[in-house]
Structures are given as structure tokens and as C-alpha cells.
Chain A
């Protein structure tokens, strides 16, 4: 197969767009923590990008997209990118590999929410390597690499299961293992730099066009549809969260941008199967669902600090299921519940539940193992001084 030059050009750009989402996550999270941990938060996202980039070319890509073994994992045929070259259907295999690499990287960055302000950098590097290998790669294989989910017809256009459910529910498990931040619930831990969070969120929204439109893997009408529904759901999520928080007080900008991410996370799995009107509903419902998930977390005094679970985890489950409700056959060839078919909805529910269970259980085990061997947390004094100084020897103010 000779790759198509237009498609190749488009996916090259999408790869760069998705790469920008990882620092976007770093800024988004960095603004939400106290000033003594901003560098640490940003650095964790960069570390995720670096760790995954190397792991992916060595064996991650092969585990996720190599020839199927029993529906569970890819073989090591593509180890070190052996046999992955310029040929391919529509785009070069190498480009597909690079595009997917950025997805794996941003997923690990999202999970850093759970360990904000208290993780030892060295432990995060080991945890991250294990997590991307044992949680992300198998899930990516199940859904996109010809594994059991793909074989049974479970759909995920751009990562509702692979990225958002895995990172969100993984974050919940990781937060339970590492424990609360010192002083959580006793004194306020207000975000110290809201503009940075807004900037990070804006970069995420921007990068998401590459994430979802690029998942068409071609410069075609499907990519155009994905871009439009992505923007629509983000907008609807923003307005829904804004409205919900307005009723309960003031419509904060952090609430608005959180609603954007909630809408984006939910539309991700469905972007290639639904129309813009469906996107309004999916985005708005996601904004409300994630808002109440966040309140529920706070009431339970769970310190999943920056709400990867409430926003990505809950939004990802909703979007994965919503695909089975709102799918329109004219777009992706799938008919959802509103078109009179419940078959896809049942499949999507199975996919969501299986992904939640797998991501939560395996993340919990990895986190426990790292905690027992090297300890996930910094010492009490290091936490008090802040991770910028204790982990990086740097400080944002002179």
C-alpha cells in the first residue's frame, strides 16, 4: 500500500497537536496546586511524555498493536519498531505508531492528578513505566489493536476507554493507595494560579482536535465531523458546568474549564459515530455528571486531588455508553438506541465496565507494589516544603 500524502500531512500535524496536550495537562494541573508544587506538576507531565515515548518505541507499540495473542495482548513482533516502516494503509505505519504514542503519553500525564503534591519522582517513573505497560498497552490492544473488545464489536473512536476510563479509574485506585495530602480537609488548598489552569485547558481543547479528528486516520469527512462534535461537546460541557455551579454559588472559571474537559472526555469515544445535536446532549450531560461526581468525591473526603476520576473517569464512562445511545448510522455506520437499536448500547456497557474493573484493579496492584518496595510518598518534611524544592531543587519565585 502506498500511503496517501494528504492523509499523511494531516496525521503528522495531529500528532504534534496531541503532543501539546501533555504539557497542557501539566499547566492545567500546575495551576490547581499550591505554588510550592507547580514545577513538580508540570515536570510530572513532561516525565510522562519522556517515559512513554521511549517505552513505546522499544516495546509498548508492539504490545498494543502487534499481532494479537489470545485477544489479550500484542506480540513482541514489532519490538524496537522492527518491521514498522513507511508503508501502510492511508498513512505510513511509522506515523500511526507516533500518533498513538502521544495518546499513551497524555494518558499517563492525566493520572498524575492522583498523586499531586506528594509523589516521589523516582517512584512515579517506575510506576509510570509499569502502568503504561500493564494497563495502557493491554487496553489499547483490546480496543484498537485487534483484541477481544474490537472482536466483539465494542467501539471507542478516540480513547474514551483507552485514555479516559483507564486514566480516571486508575487515578482513583492510585489515590487510595498513596493516601491524602497532609492537611487535606483541615485547611484550604486553593488553586494558586487559575490563569495557568485556563491556559492548560485551552491547550487541551486545541490539542483535542488532533486527538479526535486525527482518529479518523485520514483527512476526510469523518475527521471534519469529529472536529465539529468535539468542539460542540466541549462548549456544551462548559455551559452545563457553569450553570450547575452558578445555581450553587458563583460560576467559577475553573468550573467552566473543567466542564470543557468533561465534555471533551465524553465525546472522545463517540466522535466518529454521532452528529452535532447528539454532541450537545453528550457534552451537557457530561458537564453535569462530572460536576456532581466531583462534589461526591469531596463529600467522601477522597483526595483524588485534581479530579482525573471525576472528570475523565466519569466522563469517559458516560461517553462510551452514550455512543450506544446517540450513534447515527449515516456517520459511522452504527445505529444507537435513538435509532431503535440497543445492541451497541449493551456492547458499550460491557466495554465500559470491563475497562473500569481492569484499570482500577491493576493500577491498585501496581501502586501497592511500588509503595511496598520503594514508597510512593515523599517524607512529611519534603511534602511540607513542597515538591519543587524537595524533588527538583527549584522554586518558581526567586
Chain B
């Protein structure tokens, strides 16, 4: 089992959600986050003075999937979230040891 954490542009949420559902990835958790990447945010020119906006609003989605599905999930998210410009985001894959369902107590470990 792997956990996918994807951080991308807020305006792409609908596209990503739809694309994931179409590819069979339905369960997910969504958060509003703010952060900065390698570009150190966005610099705005103000009458010669530089103004930095270094925490930019993004969306983070988290989903736990089977190992074999990782490439497909990453491909799906990239295709839907990419604009080709700085600030498109990141996708992280994290190993998951266990997943227990609250209602049934069912354990899944792979």
C-alpha cells in the first residue's frame, strides 16, 4: 500500500477529482494548504521595489492505493493538474503499513 500526497493548483481540483474518478480512484481527502516551492513564491514588481508572496494557496489531496496503481495515479494527477508553468506542484509517494476501517475494524496491510 502506498499513500499519494499531491499538492497542486487550487483551480485544478475539479479536473483532478474528475480524472481520478474516471480512472477508478474514488476515495480521497482534500485540504486547503499554503506553501512555497523552489521558486520561492512569486515576486511582484512594485515601482522598482520587489514584493514577495512566498506562501501560495494550493490544494493537497491524499489517497491510499495499491502499489501497482502508483504509476497510473501519478499519471492521472499530472495529466489533470499540469499547466507547464512554475507552481504546478508535487506528488509524493509514502509507504503505508496498515489501514483500518473505523466501521468494521477491518485491517488491510497491503
Contacts and interface: CB of A to CB of B under 8 A. Distances in A.
Interface string B1-31: 0000000000110110000000000000000
Contacts of B51: 393
Interface string A182-222: 01001110000000000000000000000000000000000
Contacts of B33: none
20 contacts: A183-B11, A186-B11, A187-B11, A187-B12, A187-B14, A187-B15, A188-B11, A188-B14, A381-B42, A381-B44, A382-B44, A384-B42, A385-B42, A385-B44, A385-B53, A385-B56, A389-B44, A389-B53, A390-B44, A393-B51
B15 to A, nearest CB: 7
A200 B14 CA distance: 29
B44 A36 contact: no
A39 B12 CA distance: 24
B95 interface: no
A191 to B, nearest CB: 15
Interface string A374-387: 00000001101100
B57 interface: yes
Interface of B: 11-12, 14-15, 42, 44, 51, 53, 56-57
Given A187-B14, A381-B44, A385-B56, 16 more contacts: A36-B57, A183-B11, A187-B11, A187-B12, A187-B15, A188-B11, A188-B14, A381-B42, A382-B44, A384-B42, A385-B42, A385-B44, A385-B53, A389-B44, A389-B53, A393-B51
Interface string A224-256: 000000000000000000000000000000000
Contacts of B44: 381-382, 385, 389-390
A146 to B, nearest CB: 45
A178 to B, nearest CB: 20
A385 B12 CA distance: 15
Nearest 10 CB-CB pairings of A with B: A187-B11, A385-B53, A389-B53, A381-B42, A390-B44, A385-B42, A183-B11, A382-B44, A187-B14, A188-B14
A377 to B, nearest CB: 14
Contacts of B56: 385
A262 B14 CA distance: 32
A393 B52 CA distance: 10
Nearest to A382: B44
Contacts of B11: 183, 186-188
A193 B44 CA distance: 27
Contacts of B53: 385, 389
A292 B53 CA distance: 40
Contacts of A384: 42
Contacts of A385: 42, 44, 53, 56
B93 to A, nearest CB: 26
Contacts of B42: 381, 384-385
A36 B57 CA distance: 10
A131 B41 CA distance: 37
A254 B74 CA distance: 38
Nearest to B34: A397
Q: Which of A188, A385, A389, A393 has the most CB of B within 10 A?
A: A385
A186 B51 CA distance: 29
A381 B57 CA distance: 14
